C-alpha cells in the first residue's frame, strides 16, 4: 500500500506544550520538527477501547472468570495474596538525573506515605527538565563519549577485548534512564548500552576493568563478555550477547513484578536487528496479553551488523509493529534527549498504572563499525557516516545549551577537560589492577565442594 494511502490518526508529542495533539498525517515524523518530537504509531481509539475492556476485567478479581486459564488465575491470585509492603523505596529521590546526588534539592524527596502509587511517576512526568538538568545530562554524555573513545583506543592497542561503541546512542540511553527510578526499576541492557551503565552508577574504572578483564569488575568478576553480567544494586541485567534472548527474560521480570503487586517497571534495550528475532515477537505478544509493566526500547541505528534496515524488515518503522500486539508504539528522535525523556516517562506512567507495555523506537545513529572486529567500509560510505554526524546528540545538545546562554565555550572546554581527567585516572587504575586469581575460576560456576581446581572425586 502506498504511503499516501495509509493515512491514520497519530499522536505527535509537542515538547512545548508537554501534551499530545491529535493530528491526521500520512508522513513520517520530521526529526527536525520541534513541534512533534515523538509519534504514536498505534490507533489511540482502539487502544483506549482495549484498555477499558481490560481494566473492566481487572476489577473482577473477586469473581474469577470461568474462561480464565490456570496461568491467568495464578497471576491474579499471586497479586491478590501478596503481602509485600507498598513497593516504593523507603525514600525515593525524584531528582531526575542522579538519585545519589548529594546536592539534590531535599524538597524533591518523596517518602512512602504517599496516597497513590503513581504520584512518584507523576513528579517525573510533569517535571520539565530545567537548564541545569540538561547541562548535567550534557556532562554525562561527554563523559560517556570520552570513555567510549578511550576503550576503542585500548582495543586498538591490543589491551581491551571486543568493543561495541555507543557513540550516537548517548541521548537515547541517558534520556530514558532519567525518566525511570534508579535502584528500583530493572534495566535489561544490550551490548551497546555503555551510557546506561554509566548513568545507573558504574564508574569509568569499573567499566574499563571489564574490558581489560581485571579484578574488581562488578558485573561478572571479569568472567563475561565486557559489560555483561548483572548488578542487582543498580537493577542491571545483561546475561548474554546472543541477540534478543534477554527480551523474554525482561518480560518474565515484569510478570514477577505484577504478581508481587510491585509498581516496578522493566525496560529492555535492543537494536533494530533484535526486533526481527522471534524472541522479540513472543515477548511482546505475551507482555501485551497480560498487560505487563515493561518498556520495549529499540535503539534503531539502521544497521543489524552490516544488514541495512530495508533488508531486514518490509516496514519502515519498528514502532508500527506495536499495533499488531495491541500496545502503543512510538517513534522518537533518539538524538533529542528531551523527547526521549518525555516518551519514556509517559510509557513508565502507563506501566505503573497497569496499562501494560509500550514499544519505543529511538532513531539513533551509529558512527563506528558494529564492533571493533567489524569493517564497516565494506557496506557503508564515508559520506553516509559524515551525514549521520550532523545529528550527533552531543553536538545538538551543546548547541541548544549555547543558544540559551547556559553553556559558554570556556565552560564546555572545562567539561571536556574534566571528562578526560576522569577517564585518564580510570585507565591508569584499571591497567594497574591485577587479573583475577586463577584459583577463583570455578567460583559461582559450580558448587563449593572444597576441592582445588582440577581435582575430582
Confidence at 77, pLDDT banded by 50, 70, 90: low
Reported as a single tens digit per residue, the pLDDT across 378-432 is 999 999 999 999 999 999 999 999 999 999 999 999 999 999 999 999 999 999 9
What average pLDDT does the segment 263-283 reach?
Answer: 96
Task: Give the residue carrying C-alpha cell 565486557.
Answer: 226
Residue 457: active-site member: no
What average pLDDT does the segment 203-215 reach?
Answer: 96
CATH code of 125-440, in short, is 3.40.50.970
Confidence at 33, pLDDT banded by 50, 70, 90: very low
Query: What is the DSSP track for 211-228?
Result: HHT-TT-TTTTT-SSTT-
* Residue 255 Cα distances to 204, 296, 354, 375, angstroms: 33, 14, 12, 40
Reported as a single tens digit per residue, the pLDDT across 286-300 is 999 999 999 999 999
Are 223 and 304 in contact by the 8 Å Cβ rule? The answer is no
Candidates 379, 380, 420, 442; catalytic one: 379
What average pLDDT does the segment 69-82 reach?
Answer: 56
More confident residue, 4 or 435: 435
Confidence at 50, pLDDT banded by 50, 70, 90: very low
Q: Which three cell numbers stand for residue 370?
A: 558494529
Q: Look at residue 382 in the predicted model and tell me its pLDDT.
A: 95
Candidates 76, 169, 192, 366; catalytic one: 366
Q: Look at residue 223 in the predicted model and tell me its pLDDT.
A: 87
Mean pLDDT estimate for the chain: 80
Residue 169: active-site member: no
Confidence at 69, pLDDT banded by 50, 70, 90: low
Residue 370: active-site member: yes
What is the spatial distance between Cα 246 and Cα 86, in angstroms, rounded to a whole number?
28
Who's near 117: CB < 8 A, 6+ residues apart? 86, 87, 88, 263, 352, 353
Reported as a single tens digit per residue, the pLDDT across 185-201 is 999 999 999 999 999 99
Beta strands in 41-145 (DSSP E): 91-93, 109-111
Q: Look at residue 28 in the predicted model and tell me its pLDDT.
A: 36
Q: Look at residue 10 in the predicted model and tell me its pLDDT.
A: 36
Confidence at 252, pLDDT banded by 50, 70, 90: very high
Confidence at 303, pLDDT banded by 50, 70, 90: very high
- Indicate the burial class of 52 (C-beta count within 10 angstroms; 0-12, 13-18, 19 or more): exposed
| pLDDT of 283 higher than 80 | yes
Q: Look at residue 215 in the predicted model and tell me its pLDDT.
A: 94
What is the spatial distance between Cα 183 and Cα 204, in angstroms, rounded to a whole number?
19
**Domains in the chain: boundaries:** 125-440
Amino acid at each position: 500500500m502506498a504511503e499516501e494511502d495509509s493515512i491514520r490518526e497519530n499522536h505527535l508529542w509537542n515538547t512545548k506544550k508537554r501534551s499530545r495533539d491529535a493530528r491526521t498525517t500520512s508522513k513520517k515524523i520530521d526529526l527536525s520538527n520541534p513541534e512533534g518530537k515523538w509519534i504514536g504509531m498505534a490507533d489511540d481509539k482502539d487502544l483506549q477501547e482495549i484498555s477499558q475492556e481490560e481494566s473492566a476485567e481487572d476489577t473482577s478479581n473477586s469473581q474469577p472468570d470461568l474462561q480464565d486459564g490456570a496461568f491467568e488465575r495464578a497471576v491474579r491470585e499471586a497479586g491478590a495474596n501478596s503481602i509485600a509492603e507498598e513497593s516504593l523505596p523507603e525514600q525515593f529521590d525524584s531528582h531526575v538525573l542522579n538519585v545519589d546526588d548529594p546536592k539534590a534539592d531535599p524538597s524533591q524527596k518523596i517518602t512512602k506515605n504517599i496516597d497513590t502509587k503513581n504520584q512518584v511517576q507523576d513528579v517525573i512526568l510533569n517535571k520539565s527538565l530545567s537548564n541545569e538538568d540538561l547541562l548535567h545530562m550534557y556532562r554525562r554524555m561527554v563523559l560517556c563519549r570520552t570513555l567510549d573513545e578511550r576503550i576503542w583506543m585500548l582495543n586498538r592497542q591490543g589491551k581491551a577485548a571486543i568493543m561495541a561503541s555507543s557513540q550516537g546512542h548517548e541521548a537515547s540511553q541517558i534520556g530514558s534512564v532519567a525518566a525511570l527510578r534508579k535502584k528500583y526499576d530493572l534495566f535489561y541492557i544490550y551490548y551497546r548500552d555503555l551510557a546506561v551503565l554509566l548513568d545507573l552508577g558504574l564508574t569509568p574504572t569499573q567499566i574499563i576493568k571489564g574490558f581489560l578483564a581485571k579484578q574488581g569488575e562488578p558485573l561478572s568478576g571479569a568472567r563475561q563478555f565486557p559489560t555483561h553480567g548483572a548488578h542487582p544494586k543498580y537493577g542491571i541485567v545483561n546475561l548474554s550477547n546472543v541477540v534478543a534472548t534477554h527480551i523474554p527474560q525482561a518480560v518474565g521480570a515484569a510478570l514477577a513484578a505484577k504478581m508481587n503487586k510491585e509498581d516496578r517497571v522493566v525496560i529492555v534495550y535492543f537494536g533494530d536487528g533484535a526486533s526481527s528475532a522471534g524472541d522479540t515477537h513472543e515477548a511482546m505478544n505475551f507482555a501485551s496479553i497480560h498487560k505487563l509493566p515493561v518498556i520495549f526500547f529499540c535503539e534503531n541505528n539502521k544497521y543489524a551488523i552490516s544488514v541495512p534496515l530495508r533488508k531486514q524488515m518490509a516496514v519502515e518503522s519498528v514502532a508500527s509493529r506495536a499495533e499488531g500486539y495491541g500496545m502503543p508504539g512510538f517513534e522518537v528522535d533518539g538524538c533529542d534527549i528531551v523527547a526521549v525523556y518525555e516518551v519514556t516517562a509517559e510509557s513508565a506512567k502507563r506501566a505503573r498504572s497497569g496499562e501494560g507495555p509500550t514499544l519505543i523506537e529511538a532513531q539513533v545513529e551509529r558512527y563506528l563499525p558494529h564492533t571493533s572486529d567489524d569493517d564497516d567500509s565494506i557496506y557503508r560510505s564515508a559520506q553516509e557516516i559524515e551525514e549521520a554526524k550532523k545529528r550527533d546528540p552531543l553536538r545538538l545538545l551543546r548547541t541548544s545549551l549555547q543558544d540559551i546562554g547556559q553553556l559558554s565555550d570556556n565552560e564546555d572546554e572545562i567539561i571536556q577537560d574534566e571528562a578526560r581527567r576522569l577517564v585518564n585516572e580510570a585507565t591508569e587504575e584499571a591497567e594497574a589492577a591485577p587479573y583475577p586469581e586463577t584459583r577463583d575460576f570455578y567460583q559461582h560456576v559450580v558448587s563449593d565442594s572444597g576441592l582445588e581446581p582440577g581435582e575430582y572425586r
